[in-house]
Chains A and B, each alone.
Chain A
Amino acid sequence: MGQSITVTVNGEQRSAEVEPRLLLVHFLREKLRLTGTHIGCDTTHCGACTVLVDGTPVKSCTMLAVQADGQQVTTVEGLLTGGALHPMQAAFKEEHGLQCGFCTPGMMLTSIALLKDNPDPTDDDIRWALSGNICRCTGYMNIVKAVKSAAVQMKAAAAVPAATAAARS
């Protein structure tokens, strides 16, 4: 019955025998015990289960684990770099972009994907990008602020190596 899959999760190759009907979210949560990805609705509406599959936000409650075979999956647990917070994580704390924390991993991952395509988004760009992720606590005001703030931080960080390189040449 089982099907063998190999998924690169947060940079690490993970192989498993899974039932073809196993949802990606259950693969991550139950098989790999990466419980930072949450389940809020089962019907692709709330976005609590959002992960990045090859860099694209995907609601992992609506994707089978076998469909992720051979792909790169990033979950909230993969956002730390050498123990340091991703600028998006830092900004969510700094701007009070979370309350109960249940939607937060999905919100951050969707926002990171947005900034990759659009490093300087307007409020409306952010609100549109996040319209598939529901938050019941914050009213989105501070989430939008957090994403804007992360955008500024990430642009500044991206500019530093360039500036350093320019100074050297």
Chain B
Amino acid sequence: MAVETPLKGNIGDSIKRKEDDRFIRGKGNYLDDISLPGMLHMAINRSPFAHARIKSINTSAAQAVPGVVAVVTGELLAQHKLAWMPTLSGDTQAVLATDKVRFQGQEVACVIANDPYVARDAAALIEVDYDVLQAVVTPQQALEPGAPLIRDEKEGQKDNHIYHWEAGDKAKTDAAFEKADKVVKLDTFYPRCHPSPLETCGIVADVNPATGHATLYMTSQAPHAHRTLFAIVAGLPEQNIRIISPDIGGGFGNKVPIYPGYVVATAASLLIGKPVKWVEDRSDNLISTGFARDFHMSGELALRNDGRMLGLRVKMLSDNGAFYADAQPSKFRAGLFHIVTGSYDLQAAHVETDGAYTNKAPGGVAYRCSFRVTEASYLIERLVESAALEMKMDPTEIRLKNFIKPEQFPYMSATGFEYDSGDYPRAMQVALDKLGYQELRKEQAEKRKKGELMGIGVASFTEVVGAGPGKHYDIVGLRMFDSAELRVHPTGKAILKLGVKSQGQGHETTFAQIVTEELGIPAADVEVQEGDTDNTPYGLGTYASRSTPVGGAATAVVSRKLRDKAKKIAAHLLEASEADIEFDHGKFFVRGSPSKSKTIQDVAFAAYTNLPEGLEAGLEGVTYYDPPNMTYPFGTYLVVVDIDRGTGQVKVRRMVAVDDCGVRINPMVVEGQIHGGLTEGFGIAFMELITFDEEGNCIGSNFTDYLLPTAWETPKFEMGETVTPSPHHPIGAKGVGESATVGSPAAYVNAVIDAVGHLGIRNIDMPVTSDKVWAALNEKGAAE
């Protein structure tokens, strides 16, 4: 009987995940699982109003509750210069409100008690006297002359306008529109939604008053950057701050910012001298932490009669909430939204963006996407769908006509991105073949004759992920490099320490596989550590699909550094010249005689026991990798829907996803990432919505109102792939964590529009719910 050789975990091997052993036993260590001796608990009193002046705060009833240790107000924080904190976009945000509340759910006061139930009881007893002000709930309202001024505390702020930012060439774009045979326009709103990781955000702050050391256990996607921000905000010496990000129960961008609760818990621990735990409940999470999207977008495409695109003009107004706290590189005011030319060879494009304050929660994180790329991808893919309808072209034909061609890479886009590699027609063809596109078009034509509504949606997206390079991309000045430190021990086992931080992506397995590929140490022998700032090299963290493009590259580079040193040692062991040493899958040998070899384990042992003259001991190294460019994953997604004319219900019959993320380290993990993204994209397209009434009351503050897809609604996915390696990444990988959330919403919505476009319906804003579809059908006299 043939014995199966166990996989070592080279690149391309779908080995099982190393981290799973603890999770399936219930032995993960998430934030709320941490319990320290003497630990106190914090609860937050939040504003019930969207916009109100605080007349007074009475904490006496709360303070009188047995078990309450302290009540923290903005006034107390102001005494320590902590009432306001800087945001990731160069604005300020109230930690606890002192003058006004600016959104419903804003943090007003905190209770610290010896029991979490007591803390919550007491938080409800805090009496706040409010003078209610008119709420501003849309950015359009916010920018009207005479609109109530939300940020009246900001010097020089005369209105609710935040930023104006442009990309591309306006004159060239105007000229392209002059020459156009046809202009197709689409106004669409990408509504506010929320990453909603299943684990909410939280902190256990443990400040030792005797030593001044602060150990902060935090649900952090970026522990090193957070440490530096804490040093700046709280004025604590950075060497005394240790952030430990334990197992994280999903992030999706929600755990990138620093939230007021983290700051108050830390301050409280410092003042009281005991550990303080704060864990959000679900409403806290939905009502106050990093929301996503909320972009009002208007796109115009200039076309020739044959369907060739000549130019793209985009205007976008973002609703940033009460504080401009978007998590994004500092030079870019609307993230990387200017990637909006997508997969198309557009010679002229101009993008104009503005942002406005409203009385809503701040945040503006990229929910499983790289800095607003999903909004961009959605707009261009929806606009191309409109163009296909207007030009009476098949949506695949118009795309094929306008794709950037494989031979055009590297391709400089009209808005300044240098696309690294791609083969868009190929990915589309694989998807069309897998779906059986032509047959389904025939079926659709037959059904249409009978009055039945069936649609096929197409989206051919391109992402831009993996920021830096550091000279262009930074977070509050910190360059977006990332790091890897590799220590190979005498017995040939290794520890890999990373600056990035997994939230479920499987780093403990996939990053070990990069070491396996580069050094030949089996993945089982490589322990991956992340999330502890005292014990990992500095890095910017995990978001924007940057772990593999940047941290993965760092891992490959540091492994190669060690391999170079190992060659010197191998030459010594084999009594040969270093120049004659070759390496293949963990074995060093003299060129031409592979039978006489030394393994990486032999060499590792020698690195501590038997070194050549003049060589430092040890086999360890560290690399800080600044990528030369970002990576550009892409793919084509196809969706088939059937729509009930009587109810407007949309049923997703099929979903085919063909992704090209370059080289796949662990195909099983890659597919899992894509499944998750397709599901979150499905939720965004059809279910997930945070909206507000005219008084600024948040609707979507719990899972009764904020609907997430369950196994029952979620479609079954059919997967395909192409592999176009990134030419500048050491192992050719591009990153995949977010492709599916970026690409899929447009595919789902395009399928709906494809089903109803012939009735004259051009747009239904997400979430595409039955009532909206039925109303659109009804307006055209097509509902039953």
Contact = CB atoms under 8 A, between A and B. Distances in A.
A45 B461 CA distance: 33
B56 interface: no
A101 B249 contact: yes
A152 B95 CA distance: 54
A138 interface: yes
Given A93-B16, A101-B249, A136 B24 contact: no
Contacts of B27: 36
A139 B26 contact: no
A100 B711 contact: no
Contact of B504 (A45, A80, A94, A137): A137
A60 interface: no
Given A103-B198, A140-B711, A39 B504 contact: no
B676 A138 contact: yes
A104 B24 contact: yes
A136 B677 CA distance: 9
Contacts of A92: 20, 24
Contact of B250 (A41, A42, A100, A130): A100
A139 B20 contact: no
B676 A99 contact: yes
A40 interface: yes
Interface stretch (A62-70, A141-149, A158-166): A141-149
Contacts of B714: 127, 139-140
Contacts of A48: 198
B595 interface: no
A96 B35 CA distance: 30
A127 B19 CA distance: 25
Interface in A17-33: 19, 21-22, 26, 29-30, 33
Contacts of A93: 16-17, 20-21, 24
Contact of B248 (A21, A89, A100): A100
* Interface majority SS (helix, strand, loop, mixed), chain B: loop
A165 B703 CA distance: 50
Contacts of B668: 96
A100 B501 CA distance: 12
Given A93-B16, A130-B710, A140-B679, A105 B26 contact: yes
B712 A127 contact: yes
B250 A77 contact: no
A40 B198 contact: yes
B16 A94 contact: yes
Contact of A37 (B26, B198, B281, B506): B26
B25 A136 contact: no
Nearest to B681: A139
A131 B25 contact: no
Interface in B144-197: 196-197
A108 to B, nearest CB: 7
B678 interface: yes
9 contacts: A38-B249, A45-B703, A100-B250, A101-B23, A102-B249, A108-B24, A128-B711, A136-B198, A136-B676
